[in-house]
Amino acid sequence: MANVAVIGAQWGDEGKGKVVDWLASRADVVVRFQGGHNAGHTLVVGNETYKLSLLPSGMVRGKLCVIGNGVVIDPEALLAEIARVQGQGLSVTPENLRIAENATLILPVHPALDQAREASRGDAKIGTTGRGIGPAYEDKVGRRAIRVADLAEPETVAAKLELLLGHYNTLLRGLGVPTFEKQALFDRLMALAPQILPFAEPVWERLDELRRGGKRILFEGAQAVMLDVDHGTYPFVTSSNTVAATAASGAGVGPSAVGFVLGIAKAYTTRVGSGPFPSELTDDIGKLLGARGREFGTVTGRPRRCGWFDAAMVRQAIKVGGIQGLALTKLDVLDGLKELKICTGYHVRGEFMRHLPAAPGGQAAATPVYETLEGWTGSSGGARSWADLPAQAVKYVRRIEELVEAPVTLLSTGPERDDTIMVRDPFDD
């Protein structure tokens, strides 16, 4: 049986929750492989709404869930999230949740620095959530991170804190914000250790056993390809690699184990926070898309910027992200619009380009080149087969396939799980 990796094909918030929940119900194990509690999935099951940031979506479906080594973990945020979903009736125990022992921890110094840096940028803010994700990844590559396994060794934590605070307190003083005291931070971590360590293990070994046993594994990404620290609209990106290749390194499996790569994209485009957005609409249509699509960030609560579907950007995400099939969501939000536009490329300083430039100046200068299509008068909402869709809606989807050079393998036409048209089952070999 094939495994499946799910990644966003735009700037995040593509409506992954519903698709991931549907796939999780058919998987045996769900693995989160990158990011932190700066991303989230909203899952609606019956009358209950679950908002998950660190816990894999399979938790809602009673599946074995794994937080991989590629994730940076705020232990207090994780425990608060566990308590919240337990209050909603879910069971979260070491029997159904495993955490990679080599995952990096987010400490209180990380959000402090994150927020202070963002404040110091003034009008040049990146749009970070301020939750310490970036500084934690900096510690990881700087080889000074405290990891989950270290919590079992107080002497290791004490030695690493000495190194960390020498680094962070200097930076915090320079930014004019309060510093941290070693003993208080040490005591805080030691109090958390017995609550976190029961979940810890070498998850790479468990995943290898599951894979060899023919179990279906769903690799769950956060954010999206255009927020990838290498391939996204840098510097307005997240601090990790979000492409499907990261599923292997971020979970501790070989690349052949990743399986089918499913990209998620809205039938239009949204973005939260700062950064280039060539197809953004600030007019009444943009406001209409935001209102119909209920476009507010799951984690940030901030309104999302809305615009026309950017086929050039999604095509780029498909190429670098390794996406084999596209799940197109929220098609019903476009119902009733007389005409639709698709961005097919950009004019950048007099040159036509089919991809966004790598340099910030070029990204800011990019203006969209549009193709106009006729809208539809009927409703696509709740459609569960191609025959249920208005003819122009089908043409719109087919044109997207041509422009992004990938098939739409799943089409979401409403908030309910069954409001889905499946062309290919991603778990099929």
Q: What is the pLDDT of residues 372-402, one digit of tens each?
A: 999 999 999 999 999 999 999 999 999 999 9
* Mean per-residue pLDDT over the chain, rounded: 93
Burial of 184 per CB tally in 10 Å (0-12, 13-18, 19+): exposed
DSSP codes, 147-205? BGGGGG-HHHHHHHHHHHHHHHHHHHHHTT-----HHHHHHHHHHHHHHHGGGEE-HHH
Domain ranges of the chain: 4-99+200-260, 104-196, 265-422
What whole-number distance in Å separates Cα of residue 232 and Cα of residue 126?
A: 13
pLDDT band at 242 (very low <50, low <70, confident <90, very high): very high
Calculate what percentage of the chain has a pLDDT beyond 90: 82
Say what the pTM is.
0.94
CATH of range 4-99+200-260; options 3.40.440.10, 1.10.3720.10, 3.40.50.300, 3.40.50.2030: 3.40.440.10
Q: What is the pLDDT of residues 216-236, one digit of tens each?
A: 999 999 889 999 999 999 999
pLDDT band at 19 (very low <50, low <70, confident <90, very high): confident
CATH superfamily of 104-196: Adenylosuccinate Synthetase, subunit A, domain 2 (1.10.300.10)
The pLDDT of residue 300: 64
- With CA atoms as reference, report the closest residue to 310 among 260, 351, 353: 353
pLDDT band at 243 (very low <50, low <70, confident <90, very high): very high
- Whether the per-residue pLDDT at 1 is higher than 60: the answer is no
What whole-number distance in Å separates Cα of residue 64 and Cα of residue 82?
A: 15
Residue type present at position 334 = L
- Whether the per-residue pLDDT at 38 is higher than 90: the answer is no
Q: What is the pLDDT of residues 260-301, one digit of tens each?
A: 999 999 999 999 888 999 999 999 999 999 999 988 766 666
Catalytically active residues, by annotation = 13, 41
The pLDDT of residue 365: 95
The pLDDT of residue 298: 63
- Whether the per-residue pLDDT at 327 is higher than 70: the answer is yes
CATH of range 265-422; options 3.40.50.300, 3.90.170.10, 3.40.50.2000, 3.40.109.10: 3.90.170.10
Cβ neighbours of 218 (radius 10 Å): 29
Cβ neighbours of 338 (radius 10 Å): 8
